[in-house]
Structures are given as structure tokens and as C-alpha cells.
Amino acid sequence: MREETIRSGRTRIEWARAHMPIMERIRARFAVERPFEGLTIGICLHVEAKTGVWVETLTAGGAKIRVTGSPGSTQDDVAAALNEMPGVVAFGARRETYEEHLDHCRAVLSGTPDLIADNGADLHGLIAAEAPFAGLKDTLRGATEETTTGGYRLREEMPPFGFATWVINDTRAKRVVENRYGVGSSVVDGLMRATNLMLHGKTVVLIGYGYCGSGVAQRLRGMGAHVVVVDTDPMTRLEAHLEGFRTLPFDHALPIADIVVTVTGRTNALDARMLALLPDNCLIANAGHFATEIDLPHLRALAVETVQVREHVEALRLQDGRRIYLVAKGNLINLAAGDGNPIEIMDLGLALQSLSLEQLARHGRALPAGVHSVRADIEAEVAALAVRAWVDEAPAAA
């Protein structure tokens, strides 16, 4: 059984590798230059096939890897395959709880990494809050942070660190290519896989209209859904309006929803008061990084009965008689119920990670400490690699 699981994970990684030409070029250079020789990289990023190809790329550059994923997103067969790679230790499981996830993050940090690649700032949070990891503030060469949510947490909630953290999500390449196009496609894919429902003609209320939210809105509209955007920022509402989307306040939007999707990067984007506004048979899903975008403790406290009606859908019958459907336990729907962003999209995103980590490895503490955007020259190099792979070397149209 274990061998079959490992074989399945390797097959997934092989499929992803065949469609990641940017990683292939970077991996070939890393194998010669070995920028991570003698270094350990601690990673918190979704453990799935594309991440497997990225780990191969980093190990080709000489790195040892300790990696974990996020609740609901780990592909167990990929984790098993990663644990068979020399110099790689993977932690986590598909059905782990958030507390178990934090334990796996602790296991990553217990290896005293020289660099970290974070996702949602969970590794940073442990370094800031827990004594066993406080020493890493003085020894880490640097870090990256992948997400919108992590960027918020680092800038708004955490103390300064003595090393540089480069936020991948600050780049135009990440926001436009990965967030708008990648997340837009994969959220709709995850929603349809989870529910097997038609989107045409459904009223979908989208809470949040940043780069991810706008991409989800565009793809939902392409599937024939009637999209209503809810956002607290007037300029964002205006943008959604000018893009042709209906924009309404919460009190007017939620009672007409067939489906509600949160994508804000914030806690309790769908809070207790808003849950009271949902109509009977409404389906709710989260496309933000943490399940905390929905006030799940309050929702579950209201439920008098919970039935698992599909693999990724729970039906909660509430005290007032309403039935609310929760998708993927509120976890990130595109990964919990699907395979995440398209392979080619993550080829670009993980190239940003790879080249950022390379510079942090080479220059480390000589770089300004604190939270910063990725350097413009790195973003330009990755964009050029993407144009080469997707445009210049793509098969000519008939």
C-alpha cells in the first residue's frame, strides 16, 4: 500500500514537471551553481505536485528541505513521495487539524533552517511567539512569504525580525498571473468538483474584490453566474461596478445568494451577523488562505444536525430550520476540493520563490531587515522566462 502511495505521488510530480519549463531552466542552473549548498530551507506551502517539482529544484541547488502544507490541502501521496527524496523531510496529512498543522510547522522549524519560505506567516508567527524558535530571529539569512494573508499578518500583527522577508504577493506577476488568472480558474474548478452543481444562472455573492476576488468574479461570470460583489472599500466597489458587476452592501447581497464565496485574506469576513442573513439552502465556500474567513465556530454552534452529503460538502441544519451547505470545511476550496492553481501558473509563482530564495541565500544579512517587496529585477527575469516558455517557444497557432 505504501509503495502504491509513493508511486502515485511520483506520477503526479512527473506530470507537473512535464509542464513546468521555467522550473526546468532554473533547476539546470541551480544544479551547476549550487546556491543552497550546505543550507536547510524550511517551507510551509501547500504540499502538492507543483510543490514537489519546486522541492526538486531547490535540492538540485544543494538545499536540504523540511516542508509542510496547510490543513485540507496536502496530497498524501505527494508527501509520501517527497519523503523518499534524499535530503527532504515532509510533514502533514490531508485531514490534519489546524493545531496539527502548527505542530508540523514546529517540526519544520526544529530543523534550524537557514532560510524559510512561508505561507500565511505561520512560521514567522511561531518564531515571534514561541521560545524554542526565538533564536532563529538572529540566525536566519532571510525568508519569503507567499500570500496576501501572510503579508497582512507580517505588516500588521507581528514584531520586526532581524532578517529580510520578501513578500512574493507584492509582485505584479504574482498578483496578476497567479492571483487573478490562477486563483480565478482554480476556485471555480474546486467549487464545481466539490458540488457538481451548475453555476449558470446562480447568484454568487463574492466577498472581497482584490486580485484574487476579481479573478474569481471573472471566471464565475464566464460560467454564466450572476455575480454580486461585496467589498468595504469604495474604490474597490467602484472598480467592480465599472467591470460590470453588481455591487451591494452585505445586508442586501447575502439574502439573495445561492452561493457565497469569501476571498479577503481577513478573519471573519463572513461573521455571525452575516451568517444570519443567509437564505435557506445557501452554499458557502472560502477561497482565502485560512478557514477563519468564515465564523465556523458560530455556524457549528447554530447547527442541530450536520450531514456529510458529498466528500467535500456538509449540510448543516440550523436551529431556525435553515439548511446551509459548507464546502471543504471552510478550507481553501481550490486546494481542499481540487488541485490548486494550474501547473503553468505555479511554474511562474515558484520561479519567483526560487530566485528570491537564491538572493537571500547569497546575500542574507547584508540585505535590509524587515518586510519588503521582491526586487524588480527578479520579477522581470521571471516574467521574461514566462514569455519565453508560453509565447516565444509555444507551438504556433494553426
Last residue of a domain, one of 315, 336, 357: 336
Grade residue 396 by pLDDT with cuts at 50, 70 and 90.
Answer: low
In a domain, 175, yes or no: no
d(CA 174, CA 356): 13
The predicted structure's pLDDT at residue 1: 78
Same domain as 330, residue 349: no
Residue 237 lies in a domain: yes
Q: Is the pLDDT of residue 280 over 90?
A: yes
Q: Phi and psi dihedrals of 320, rounded to 5? A: -90, 5
Q: Is residue 285 part of a domain?
A: yes
Distance from C-alpha of 196 to C-alpha of 202, rounded to nearest angstrom: 13
Residues 19 and 133 in one domain: yes
List C-alpha distances in Å: 294 to 204, 214, 227, 273, 331: 16, 19, 19, 11, 10
DSSP string, 331-389: SBHHHHSS--S-HHHHHHHHHHHHHHHHHHHHHGGGSPPEEEEPPHHHHHHHHHHHHII
Mean pLDDT of the chain: 96
Q: What is the pLDDT of residue 71?
A: 84
Q: For residue 298, give its domain range.
A: 181-336
Indicate whether 145 and 259 sit together in one domain: no
* CA 386 remoteness from chain centre: 20
Residue 395 has pLDDT above 80, yes or no: no
284 is written with which cell numbers?
458557502
User: Is 176 within the bounds of a domain?
Assistant: no
Count Cα neighbours of 286 within 13 Å in the Cβ-side half-sphere.
25
pLDDT, one tens digit per residue, over 114-146 is 999 999 999 999 999 999 999 999 999 999 999
Helix axes 98-109, 122-129, angle to 10 degrees: 70
Report residue 72's pLDDT band, with 50, 70 and 90 as the boundaries: confident
Average pLDDT over residues 80-107: 96
For 323-369, write each residue's pLDDT tens digit.
999 999 999 999 999 999 999 999 999 999 999 999 999 999 899 99
Does residue 397 sit within a domain? Answer: no
Task: Give the C-alpha separation, 83 to 346, whole Å.
Answer: 22
- Residues 6 or more apart whose Cβ sits within 8 Å of residue 136: 109, 112, 113, 127
Q: Indicate whether 192 pLDDT > 50.
A: yes
Q: Are 274 and 298 within one domain?
A: yes
Q: Which three cell numbers stand for residue 264?
A: 479577503
Q: Which pLDDT value is given to residue 398? A: 47
Of 292, 321, 336, which marks where a domain is finished? 336
Q: Which residues pair with 332 in a beta bridge?
A: 286
Is there a single domain that holds both residue 233 and residue 379? no
Q: Of all residues in the chain, what percent carry a pLDDT higher than 90?
A: 95
CATH code (residue 157): 3.40.50.1480
Mean pLDDT of 234-241: 97
